[in-house]
Structure 1
Amino acid sequence: MSRPNPAIYITFLIAVIVILGAVTLAKGGFYIAKHEGDTLHLLQIVFRMASGEWPHMDFMTPIGLLAFAPIVLFLNLGVGVGMSILLSQVLVAFILLPAVFWTGMSRLPRRAAYPFGFAVIVLVLGLVHGEAERSVSISMHYNRWAWAVSYVVIALAVLPPRAFGNDLLDGLIIGLGLAFLALCKVTYFAAFAPVVVVGLIANGNARALRSAILSGLGVALLVSVFATLDFWFAYVADLRTVAASSVRPQPGLGLESVVTAPAYLGATAVLIAGIILLRQAGEMVLGLSLLLLAPGFVYVTYQNFGNDPQWLMLLAVLLLVPEPRAELRNGFGWPVGQALGVAAAVAIAFAAPSVLNLAYSPFRHLSLPEDDYEPILARNPEHHDLQARVIRANRVDGLVALDVPGSGLEDRAGPAERDEQRVLFQDRALPFCELQMGIVAWFEAIVADLEANGFGDGTRVFVADLFMGHWMFGNLSRLEGGAPWYYGGLPGIDSADYLLVPLCPTSQSVRKQILEAVKEAEIPVREVRRAPLYVLYGLGEAAG
């Protein structure tokens, strides 16, 4: 089958970027409908980086710097954070454009090149994390970006050049792509780098492998020059902390369920069928590569919130590449070429809900009624271009225990096994309550109360909860070496003036873990304020 026409193919790719990018930016701001907590996590990181801090060295995070650097670039140019997020997606799409074009022209037949290019661009420019969830959100954007880059890197490595090739260019793209994965979300690098190496060697592209290694090392050297070698040690330390953390051992279903649960069994079956059919078609290298990719596909899906198998479109593309002889049949008598096409169609059908959801999410964003939204950072006019739904920002809902004394349900407390959740700190029992919605109002109210009672003006507060972004809502200062998302230990508490214990945290288990760590570390604390929403304890001199 002929390769795509170069002029038509590049026009198609640019058109997809321009249309989706223009629709994304036309709103003039970013209006999120969900995942406010994840958004605040992102804001903490990009604001810290914009002020000159480095991930891992100045604050804890397992996510790499390149997941945030494009956003920070626009922030440093004076753009509001909402538009900075949207512009960063368009920038990443245009940066990937040459690599996507080269991959399509050098590796793919026309029938595979167009869905490949469309899927990669949609992954970058989507305004939702995936699945069939329609609510606009920037949550986990780095997962989408990493999948997009993985598509390019894997296709270049496991598919041999068709009519023409350039080993040095292949290696350059692969090396830069793998470096991006390592500095965006290392899970993807760990899952796919070995297969990339095997694919290049099996296809006889040793020169491309050398080029990939050199270009990847070049990125590592560049980062080391600007951030020093300490950056890498700090990065590894953060990854080890997260790997050993009990806070979020898995963000969704268990590993076995991602393979065999009803929602995923069909995808697993078509993946296995694809491997078998490729071997029957005589595509030994591609079949071996897909066999080696399968564990990586499953593992990355297991590691990502929502467990969305974003690899399905890549599987379909790979199955559309071979062109076996028309008379070639397998043991069942099936024409292997047609069977591969059917398997690809099934993969596309399974992928369609997520891909279409990503593709039209910018259009949903454009149609959102602005009257239903309000700024997340109300006290920062320069960032009013990032907004949340009024109802979600202000409706503060919590999950509370009803089997309390006097409720008539006291006898149910034992079988409910609440002892594991019970928290006793400073001889006081904390209530069973977990925040479900309204984190923006929750943060605003707590910070306003702190400032009204003399705890503003640069005060540093260590919060016994999953998020510690209170400093973005007032005159508080951020912790030195803190963690925008809590994974374990007491990061940044040495720089804190106070310990803030929310009475209804976003995570009861995290609150309990932090307070137990404070006790074990024998850190002196003294209650200085008991408010309706929190208890404040002095640390260090404030505890005296």
Structure 2
Amino acid sequence: MSRPNPAVLMGILVATLVLLGGAAVLKGGFYIGKHEGDTLHMMQIVFRMAEGQVPHRDFMTPIGGLAFAPIALFVKSGMGIGMATLWSQVLMAALFLPAVWWVAMSRLSPYLAAFFGIVVMVLMLALVHGEAQRSVSISMHYNRWAWGAAFIAILAALVPPVHPRSALVDGIIIGLMASVMVLIKVTYFAAFALPVVLALILTKQTRALIVALLTGAVAAVAITLWLGPDFWLAYLGDLLTVARSEVRPQPGEPLSAVVGAPAYLGGSLVAIMGVILLRQARADVGGLVLLTLLPGFFYVTYQNFGNDPQWTLLLAVLLLALRPQGEVTNAMGWNMRGALNICAAMALALGAPSFFNLAYSPFRHFNVDVSTYAPLLPRGGIHEDLQGAALRVERVDGRVALDAPGMALAAYANAEHREDPPQFMGETFATCNVELGLPTVFDAISRDLEEAGLAGGKRIFAADLFSSYWLFGDFEPLVGGAPWYYGGLPGYASADYLLIPICPVVQDVQAQVLKAIEAEGTDGLAEIRRTDLYILYSKG
């Protein structure tokens, strides 16, 4: 196998970083086309961290702090949240670049090394989470970053180095990538840790395995010394809460569908065929490890919103890297190098729509007409550089039940087809969910509370998916609150008010929250304000 030119490969990676990162930051602001709620969730976490709060310990989230720390770093330095988000992607890509360069240069042919490096850089710098829907969004950026770390660790473990060889460097990279997965989204670590260890053992990279374990241990000790052992206990507690949650046990299709539904069956079959072909090509270790990777690929895809199987690109790289160099045929006389080429091409074809969507999202963002956008935080000052499509920010739409009591089709109502409406303290609420204009709803309620003299640094616990009002007005965040509700009553004890939106984001969540509050007890709750938008209770 010919060796990639180190300088050329580095040049390709740097050029990709400059091209995609530059297209993003040169816009001068961040303009999203969807997922406003997810963006507000991110903003809550970032602003808390910029003020010195620690995820899991000071507020609840199942996402690791490293997913938001780079953004918080730039916000703390005085940058607006929009530009901070874009620069954080550039920073993460720059930090990943040396590892990508080393792993690709030491294991892959020139063209394959360049392709792998570009794929990882695209994952780090894209401005959409994947799939084929073109609207720009920062939602779930941490999934992309975690995929990048997984790609590097898996390739380094499964494909032994050819030139140069350095167990020390390989082990440090693998250990750091494993640590990154833990600190961004632990699902990735849980899915891929054992296959990576198995790959290192079977490929006889024992020294690299030892170094990787030591690197991970050093990282864990360093974080424990910095944040204290209670950090890990709190992180575990958040993960367990989400695992037991009825709100969002999985954000998309069930696991069986992610493996066998029409949209995914092709990828599953290609992956299984890849395992068979590697075994027939006498790449027994590659086939065995790939087989152990498949459950992780499926599980991570199942856990990620959109269920985008981005592992197909890595599958193609692994199949091409593990091809036999000489003439190898199977029992049917197939040339196994050619067969693996075809299998890899099929994997690339399946991953192409998502990849190209990721790859040119920064350029779509660069070309947006900013006159059609509006700030997510209308009074955000420097943070007005994060904007959403005005149609989605300023137009407020809701979904109501036309067969609810008092509506035109009430006679046709069938309770079997609808969840029970929320009830609280003897009152039943009409069916309604906000569909568009979430920032406007938050802003309107916040302004109304301020005009009523009910703000002034108070804390609001909302019976809804989000309690984001402190981003929009003179309020404080909940102590130990959850930027995204997963269950329980996180932060309720610190709240001054309970706010019940008349039309919440997710009414099923509202019903669950109100049941939990009634189970805890409503003594001390007193209604102090009622409008067409909300009911407000003081906690006494």
TM over 0.5: yes
Q: CA–CA distance in 2 between the matches of 1:292 and 1:443?
A: 46
Which residue of 2 is the match for residue 477 of structure 1?
A: 476
Which residue of 2 is the match for residue 156 of structure 1?
A: 156
Paired AA for residue 189 in structure 2: F
Alignment deviations for residues 470-510 of structure 1 (CA, whole Å, 9 cap, x no partner) = 10101011110000000000001111011000111111111
Which residue of 1 is the match for residue 236 of structure 2?
A: 236
Q: CA–CA distance in 1 between the matches of 2:205 and 2:328?
A: 28
Alignment deviations for residues 180-218 of structure 1 (CA, whole Å, 9 cap, x no partner) = 100100000000011111111111112111111111111
Q: CA–CA distance in 2 between the matches of 1:416 and 1:437?
A: 27
Paired AA for residue 84 in structure 1: A
Alignment deviations for residues 358-401 of structure 1 (CA, whole Å, 9 cap, x no partner) = 00000000000010012111212111211111111011111101
Find out whether 1:98 has 2:103 as its counterpart.
Answer: no
8 Å Cα contact 1:490/1:514 also seen in 2 = yes
Paired AA for residue 260 in structure 2: T
Quick one: structure 1 residues 401 and 149, their matched pair in 2 at CA, closer, same or farther if it must change by over 3 Å?
Answer: same
Find out whether 1:488 has 2:487 as its counterpart.
Answer: yes
Paired AA for residue 500 in structure 2: V
Paired AA for residue 372 in structure 1: T
Q: CA–CA distance in 2 between the matches of 1:199 and 1:261?
A: 29
Which residue of 2 is the match for residue 342 of structure 1?
A: 342
Which residue of 2 is the match for residue 453 of structure 1?
A: 452
3-state SS of the aligned residue for 1:487? coil
Q: CA–CA distance in 2 between the matches of 1:415 and 1:486?
A: 26
Paired AA for residue 319 in structure 1: L
Paired AA for residue 17 in structure 2: I
Cα offset for 1:323?
3.9
Which residue of 2 is the match for residue 199 of structure 1?
A: 199
Q: CA–CA distance in 2 between the matches of 1:410 and 1:324?
A: 68
Alignment deviations for residues 442-472 of structure 1 (CA, whole Å, 9 cap, x no partner) = 0000101111111110111100000111101
8 Å Cα contact 2:80/2:383 also seen in 1 = yes
Find out whether 1:499 has 2:498 as its counterpart.
Answer: yes
Q: CA–CA distance in 2 between the matches of 1:126 and 1:351?
A: 15
3-state SS of the aligned residue for 2:476? coil
Q: CA–CA distance in 2 between the matches of 1:194 and 1:16?
A: 32
8 Å Cα contact 2:398/2:503 also seen in 1 = yes
8 Å Cα contact 2:402/2:408 also seen in 1 = no
Which residue of 2 is the match for residue 311 of structure 1?
A: 311
Which residue of 2 is the match for residue 180 of structure 1?
A: 180
Which residue of 2 is the match for residue 405 of structure 1?
A: 405
Q: CA–CA distance in 1 between the matches of 2:45 and 2:301?
A: 24
8 Å Cα contact 1:421/1:508 also seen in 2 = no
Which residue of 1 is the match for residue 31 of structure 2?
A: 31
Paired AA for residue 191 in structure 1: A
My pick for the range that moved more, 399-408 or 451-460, is 399-408
8 Å Cα contact 1:489/1:517 also seen in 2 = yes
Quick one: structure 1 residues 22 and 272, their matched pair in 2 at CA, closer, same or farther if it must change by over 3 Å?
Answer: same
Paired AA for residue 180 in structure 1: V
Q: CA–CA distance in 2 between the matches of 1:421 and 1:406?
A: 16
8 Å Cα contact 2:422/2:508 also seen in 1 = no
Q: CA–CA distance in 2 between the matches of 1:273 and 1:515?
A: 50
Q: CA–CA distance in 2 between the matches of 1:347 and 1:110?
A: 20
Cα offset for 1:405?
3.4
Which residue of 2 is the match for residue 18 of structure 1?
A: 18
8 Å Cα contact 2:176/2:212 also seen in 1 = yes
Which residue of 2 is the match for residue 167 of structure 1?
A: 167
CA RMSD after TM alignment: 1.1
Paired AA for residue 443 in structure 2: E
Q: CA–CA distance in 1 between the matches of 2:461 and 2:352?
A: 44
3-state SS of the aligned residue for 2:388? strand
Identity percentage over the alignment? Answer: 54
Cα offset for 1:317?
0.3
Cα offset for 1:415?
4.9
Alignment deviations for residues 4-63 of structure 1 (CA, whole Å, 9 cap, x no partner) = 111111111111111111111110010011000000000000000000100000000000
8 Å Cα contact 1:326/1:335 also seen in 2 = no
Which residue of 1 is the match for residue 255 of structure 2?
A: 255
Cα offset for 1:410?
2.3
Which residue of 1 is the match for residue 47 of structure 2?
A: 47
Paired AA for residue 228 in structure 1: G
TM-score (norm 2): 0.98
Paired AA for residue 515 in structure 2: E
Which residue of 1 is the match for residue 280 of structure 2?
A: 280
Which residue of 2 is the match for residue 422 of structure 1?
A: 421
Cα offset for 1:528?
1.1
Which residue of 2 is the match for residue 464 of structure 1?
A: 463
Which residue of 2 is the match for residue 372 of structure 1?
A: 372
8 Å Cα contact 2:286/2:322 also seen in 1 = no
Q: CA–CA distance in 2 between the matches of 1:408 and 1:100?
A: 61
Q: CA–CA distance in 2 between the matches of 1:39 and 1:32?
A: 9
Q: CA–CA distance in 1 between the matches of 2:374 and 2:286?
A: 51
3-state SS of the aligned residue for 1:384? helix
Which residue of 2 is the match for residue 268 of structure 1?
A: 268
Paired AA for residue 432 in structure 2: C
Find out whether 1:120 has 2:120 as its counterpart.
Answer: yes
8 Å Cα contact 1:59/1:481 also seen in 2 = yes
3-state SS of the aligned residue for 2:456? coil
Paired AA for residue 291 in structure 2: L
Alignment deviations for residues 151-193 of structure 1 (CA, whole Å, 9 cap, x no partner) = 0000001111113311111110111110110010000000001
Cα offset for 1:325?
5.1
Cα offset for 1:426?
1.6
Cα offset for 1:422?
1.7
Q: CA–CA distance in 2 between the matches of 1:361 and 1:91?
A: 18
TM-score (norm 1): 0.98
3-state SS of the aligned residue for 2:363? helix
3-state SS of the aligned residue for 1:460? strand
Paired AA for residue 250 in structure 2: Q
Q: CA–CA distance in 2 between the matches of 1:409 and 1:493?
A: 38
Which residue of 1 is the match for residue 433 of structure 2?
A: 434
Alignment deviations for residues 417-461 of structure 1 (CA, whole Å, 9 cap, x no partner) = 33x332221211111001111101000001011111111101111
Paired AA for residue 433 in structure 2: E
Q: CA–CA distance in 2 between the matches of 1:398 and 1:406?
A: 17
Which residue of 2 is the match for residue 527 of structure 1?
A: 527
8 Å Cα contact 1:111/1:320 also seen in 2 = no
8 Å Cα contact 2:404/2:431 also seen in 1 = no
Which residue of 2 is the match for residue 226 of structure 1?
A: 226
My pick for the range that moved more, 372-381 or 440-449, is 372-381
Cα offset for 1:416?
4.8
3-state SS of the aligned residue for 2:184? coil
8 Å Cα contact 1:466/1:506 also seen in 2 = yes
Cα offset for 1:527?
1.1
Cα offset for 1:406?
4.4
User: Across the two proteins, how many residue pairs are aligned to each other?
Assistant: 539
Quick one: structure 1 residues 410 and 380, their matched pair in 2 at CA, closer, same or farther if it must change by over 3 Å?
Answer: closer
Paired AA for residue 244 in structure 1: R
Cα offset for 1:332?
2.6
Q: CA–CA distance in 2 between the matches of 1:425 and 1:44?
A: 28
Paired AA for residue 317 in structure 1: V
Q: CA–CA distance in 2 between the matches of 1:120 and 1:276?
A: 27
